[in-house]
Amino acid sequence: MSKTVMNPDPKRIITKFELFDEYWTHKIIAEFNNQYVKLAKLKGKFIWHAHEHEDELFYIVKGSLMLKFRDRNDVNLTEGEMYIVPAGVDHLPVAKEECWVMLIEPKSTFHTGSTQTGRSVKTEDQEWI
Amino acid sequence: MSKTVMNPDPKRIITKFELFDEYWTHKIIAEFNNQYVKLAKLKGKFIWHAHEHEDELFYIVKGSLMLKFRDRNDVNLTEGEMYIVPAGVDHLPVAKEECWVMLIEPKSTFHTGSTQTGRSVKTEDQEWI
């Protein structure tokens, strides 16, 4: 039985963000069609990485986020804006101030894609909230 | 080449809603991982239906929405709340006042699931905005 069925309560996004403080650590809030819906608080610069087989949807809940790319112009996103980073595209998220994002990506997606660093969170260590 | 790559601009959700007026007619704004991101304006009562193989994510952008079910308690959603209707679950969306929703579901999803009525929009007739 999936978590979707086990936890069929409505998810109030803003309230879920009050449940954690760490930066750059995704929390899973829902599962559907083999995708996870995740929330993350971002601040500062992350690391360059790409997800070879998975598109990644970014939706900005609060604040603003710059996505830097090697093969296209940078993208600046603010509250209420959405952007999809296609599979295989190198990107670097940068948040000058704290930014809250909702991410949607396949369950198989590794935190830092094909890059492994001390900041990578293992897929099996991802926490549900 | 996918529309994601063809149209890599950020999508400002609220602004996209200004581009159409019809109720109960989804507009596609993005594609990722074989899913569509769709916007819809809802008002009144839709029809009972289920999507046999597809989970359906509802995210309320403006207003409120009741989802009625045959096998579980009704769910009342307001702005900023999300709910996933699992595949195979009969549901009836009801909006007393105009409600704006973002839906995410597989590209294969038929508007009214296994129910066909005069209100059904054919999958190939779905419009991108």
Q: How far apart are the first and last CA of chain B?
A: 18
User: Nearest CA of chain B to the CA of A117: how many Å?
Assistant: 26
Average the pLDDT over B62-87 and give the result. 95
Over chain A, what is the mean pLDDT? 89
3-state SS class at B95: strand
Nearest CA of chain B to the CA of A57: how many Å?
7
Identify any residues that bridge with B39 across adjacent strands, giving them in sequence order. B27, B102
Residue A31 has which token pair? 């599962």
Between the two ends of chain A, the Cα-to-Cα distance in Å is 18
Q: Which of B11, B29, B82 sits opposite A10 (nearest CB)?
A: B82
Residues A129 and B99: their CA atoms lie apart, in Å, by 27
Instruction: State percent of chain B over pLDDT 70.
Output: 94
Contacts of A112 (CB under 8 A, 6+ apart): A47, A49, A119, A120
Exposure string (b/e) for A70-103, b if CB count within 10 Å is 16 or more? eeeeebebebebbbbbbbebbbebbbeeebbbbb
Contacts of B9 (CB under 8 A, 6+ apart): none
Contacts of B77 in chain A (CB under 8 A): 10
For the segment A44-84, what is each residue's pLDDT rounded down to a tens digit?
999 999 999 999 999 999 999 999 999 899 999 999 999 99
Q: Residues in chain A whose beta carbon is closer than 8 A to a beta carbon of chain B?
A: 2, 4-5, 8, 10-14, 29-33, 35, 37, 54-57, 72, 75-77, 80-84, 86, 104-106
pLDDT confidence of residue A116: 77
Interface test with A, best of B3, B56, B58, B82 (most A CBs within 10 A): B82
- Measuring CA to CA, how many Å separate B119 from each of A77, A104, B60, B113, B124? 36, 30, 22, 12, 15
| Partner-chain residue, chosen from A5, A33, A80, that has the shortest CB–CB distance to B106 | A33
Distance CA A41, CA B117 (A): 44
The 10s digit of each residue's pLDDT in B94-128 is 999 999 999 999 998 877 777 777 778 777 788 89
| pLDDT value of position A7 | 56
Query: Which residues in B lie closer than 8 A to residue A13 (C-beta atoms)?
Result: 80-82
Interface with chain A: mutation pick from B32, B67, B89, highest number of A CBs within 10 Å: B32
Strands B127-128 and B27-32: parallel
Q: Using the predicted structure, report yes or no on whether residue A16 has a pLDDT greater than 70.
A: yes
Domains of chain A: 13-128 (2.60.120.10)
Q: Could B4 and A84 be called an inter-chain contact, meaning their C-beta atoms sit closer than 8 Å?
A: yes
Residue B2 has pLDDT above 60, yes or no: no
pLDDT of the residue at A4: 47
